[in-house]
């Protein structure tokens, strides 16, 4: 075996990591070694700086639990999450575009009937989301699952409300026979990404915005169609072009129409307070169509 020098080390390590039967793992690990070594060669960290980096990653891992994922947040603010999403969703068909899931999705949301309020007792202005789930050809999709999660009217997710027991600001809905859906919630507001952890430490050493524009997360699934994880962003939000996680796509910017007290809501009731209405049709691509594209 050749002894290493600064010049030969990368080639020797890549050769060692070529002894992997799994072809994909071999490709991944050799690329990782190549680019990790190139990164180190470019910045030439001191021993103390490298120790700081290891400590940063260690503390990032310790902040992760079933409701908080600091590593996802790290991936998000570096734009890596959106790049992975873009690579895996190269759509040319007119389907609703995807965007990042983010670090706050909690699985197994409770089921709500069409039009039910998933934000009971939450602070914020009432908001109704309505529209249809349909295929690219315009056909209505009945029984599609819409998994929602969002901040309340104070800009906080469930994971940021330790004082609240149980489910907060998330729910599972299904489209009706004609593909329509109706959701009652409260309007989200723009908010800062969590700044109390390692990623906050990093962001505080920059002039980069740590704000996210107001949005609602949606994850849709329907038999025979490709699912989509996406957001609906409020048009006109001051942070729409400075999203900390690079998640905004033009097709996902929608009007949050504010209605005065005394107006009829999409649910048919007369509201005694102002409220918002968000109308959006989700378009899903058939699995067969995606395979042929």
State pLDDT tens for residues 161-197.
989 888 999 999 999 999 999 999 999 999 999 899 9
pLDDT at 293: 53
Q: Check: CB of residue 99 under 8 Å from CB of residue 82.
A: yes
pLDDT at 292 over 60: no
Q: Of 200, 215, 210, 220, whose CA–CA distance to 169 is shortest?
A: 215
Pairing of strands 126-135, 275-279: parallel
Single pTM value for the model: 0.88
pLDDT at 136: 94
Which two structure tokens, joined as six digits, stand for 190?
């723009």
pLDDT at 159: 85
Phi-psi region of 228 (alpha: psi -120 to 50; beta: other; left: phi over 0): beta
pLDDT at 291: 52
Q: Check: CB of residue 190 under 8 Å from CB of residue 238.
A: yes
Helix (H, G, I), strand (E, B) or coil at 128: strand
Q: Of 150, 167, 128, whose CA–CA distance to 268 is shortest?
A: 128
């Amino acid at each position: 075996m050749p002894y290493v020098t600064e010049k030969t080390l990368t080639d020797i390590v890549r050769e060692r990591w070529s002894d992997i039967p799994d072809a994909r793992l071999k490709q991944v690990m050799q690329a990782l070694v190549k680019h990790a070594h190139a990164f180190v060669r470019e910045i030439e960290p001191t021993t103390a700086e490298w120790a700081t980096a290891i400590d940063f990653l260690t503390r990032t891992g310790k902040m992760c639990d079933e409701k908080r994922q600091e590593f996802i947040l790290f991936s998000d603010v570096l734009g890596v999450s959106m790049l992975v999403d873009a690579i895996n969703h190269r759509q040319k068909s007119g389907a609703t575009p995807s965007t990042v899931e983010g670090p706050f999705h909690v699985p197994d949301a409770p089921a709500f009937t069409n039009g039910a309020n998933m934000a009971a007792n939450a602070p914020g202005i009432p908001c109704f989301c309505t529209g249809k789930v349909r295929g690219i050809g315009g056909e209505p999709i009945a029984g599609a699952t819409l998994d929602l999660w969002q901040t309340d009217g104070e800009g906080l997710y469930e994971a940021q409300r330790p004082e609240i027991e149980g489910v907060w600001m998330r729910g599972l809905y299904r489209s009706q026979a004609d593909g329509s859906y109706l959701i009652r919630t409260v309007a989200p507001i723009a908010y800062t990404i969590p700044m109390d952890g390692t990623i906050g430490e990093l962001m505080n050493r920059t002039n980069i915005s740590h704000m996210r524009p107001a949005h609602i997360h949606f994850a849709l699934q329907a038999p025979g169609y490709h699912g989509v994880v996406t957001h609906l962003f409020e048009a006109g939000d001051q942070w729409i072009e400075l999203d900390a996680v690079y998640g905004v796509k033009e097709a996902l910017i929608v009007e949050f129409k504010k209605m005065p007290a005394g107006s009829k809501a999409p649910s048919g009731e007369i509201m005694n307070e102002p409220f918002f209405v968000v109308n959006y049709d989700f378009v899903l691509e058939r699995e067969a169509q995606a395979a042929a594209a």
